[in-house]
Amino acid sequence: MSKTSSGTLYRGREGMWSWVGHRVTGVVIFLFLLVHVLDTALVRVDASAYDAVIATYKNPLMALGETALVAAILFHAFNGLRLILVDFWKQGTKYQRQLLWGVIGVWVVVFAGFAIRHLSLAFGGH
Amino acid sequence: MSAEIAAPRSQRIDPKYVRGPKSRSSFEMLAWLFMRLSGVVLVVLIFGHLIANLLTGTGINALSFGFVAGKWASPIWQFWDLALLWLAMLHGTNGVRTIINDYAEKHATRAWLKGVLYVSTIFIIVLGSLVIFTFDPCVVNSPLPQC
């Protein structure tokens, strides 16, 4: 990073990295959304074809993918709420860093809960 | 040290930085506002979607054609999924539009990428809406007993 960036409030710090994370997770979620509408559309074509595609979501490798996807969704959701606070709450810009650490804290707790539940269901061998 | 510093917005912008005629349209402000409003609603819709489909009962193991048919027997879930489809697609499309505007520097590249984006968005929204509105529990190979 260039020396000119030292002393700026935003570049290379929490504000910038949360922005990068928001973009990356947003694109990932959008791409999955396109696929997800297409796979769900199979319910209108053939019930067993739909079940066959859904069965691929149940294998362990895909379960890890789903867990990663939910990790992205949770970050995007909580950081999105932070963004709204930064834009609309009077003290938002002042506390944007603290808010990011709050986002990360909530994210860790909720993600851990989801991952334990989803992975134990997916690997549980029903 | 007596260099004159003009007041901001005093029209002393180097011509190479002038960005064309000022738009009086409030589209970008409305798009900005839509991202915040739809974002809040999407948090509720997506969390509900994940809880109902992945966290309750046997979670992902229960997903099947019958599961979807059971949900869409209720107008509440039909509306839930329709709202989710429209809001998520429009929110995501506007996000990707912003990213294209930021990184695609050539006018033609921007136009092409956004064209592909908008065509895909319309296709997915129309397809998804048709699937919800015309859902048939007795579609080909339906396992449901009443069929």
Domain locations in chain B as residue ranges: 27-133
Q: What are phi and psi of B25, to 5 degrees?
A: -70, 145
Nearest-Cα residue of chain A relative to residue B136? A44
Is B133's pLDDT higher than 90? yes
Are the CB atoms for A121 and A36 separated by under 8 Å?
no
pLDDT > 70: percent of chain A: 90
Instruction: Classify B27-133 by CATH class.
Output: mainly alpha
Distance in angstroms (rounded) separating the CA atoms of residues A56 and A54: 5
pLDDT at B17: 75
Is A95's pLDDT higher than 70? yes
**Residue B93: band (very low, low, confident or very high) from pLDDT cuts 50, 70, 90:** very high
Are the CB atoms for B72 and B132 separated by under 8 Å?
yes
Higher pLDDT, B83 or A9: B83
Structural domain A12-123, CATH architecture: Up-down Bundle (1.20)
Distance of residue A6 Cα from the nearest chain B Cα, in angstroms: 24
The domain limits of chain A are 12-123
pLDDT > 70: percent of chain B: 94
Mutation target vs B (from A46, A51, A123; most B CBs, 10 A cutoff): A51
Residues in A whose CB is inside 8 Å of some CB of B read 23, 26-27, 29-30, 33-34, 37-38, 40-41, 43-51, 54, 57-58, 63, 66, 70, 73, 77, 80-81, 83-84, 87-88, 114, 117-118, 121-122, 124, 126
Q: What are phi and psi of A65, to 5 degrees?
A: -60, -40
pLDDT at A10: 65
pLDDT at B1: 56
Q: Does B56 touch chain A (CB under 8 A)?
A: no
Average pLDDT of chain A is 91
- CB atoms inside a 10 Å sphere around CB B72: 17
Complex confidence, ipTM: 0.90
Distance in angstroms (rounded) separating the CA atoms of residues B116 and B96: 11
Contacting residues for B123 by C-beta, under 8 A, at least 6 apart: none
Q: Could you report the per-residue pLDDT of A11-36, keeping only the tens digit for each?
A: 778 889 999 999 999 999 999 999 99
Q: Could you report the per-residue pLDDT of B3-37, keeping only the tens digit for each?
A: 777 776 666 677 777 776 777 788 999 999 999 99
| Neighboring chain B residues of A19 at a CB cutoff of 8 Å | none
State the amino acid at position A97 in one-letter form: R
Q: Does B140 touch chain A (CB under 8 A)?
A: yes
Higher pLDDT, B78 or B2: B78
Least confident of A62-71, A80-89, B15-24, B124-133: B15-24
Q: Which residue has the tokens 């007041």?
A: B7
**Residue A125: band (very low, low, confident or very high) from pLDDT cuts 50, 70, 90:** low
pLDDT at B147: 87
Residue in B36, B88, B96 nearest the CB of A27: B96
Q: Give the tokens for residue A118.
A: 């989803």
Higher pLDDT, B110 or B8: B110
**Residue A1: band (very low, low, confident or very high) from pLDDT cuts 50, 70, 90:** very low
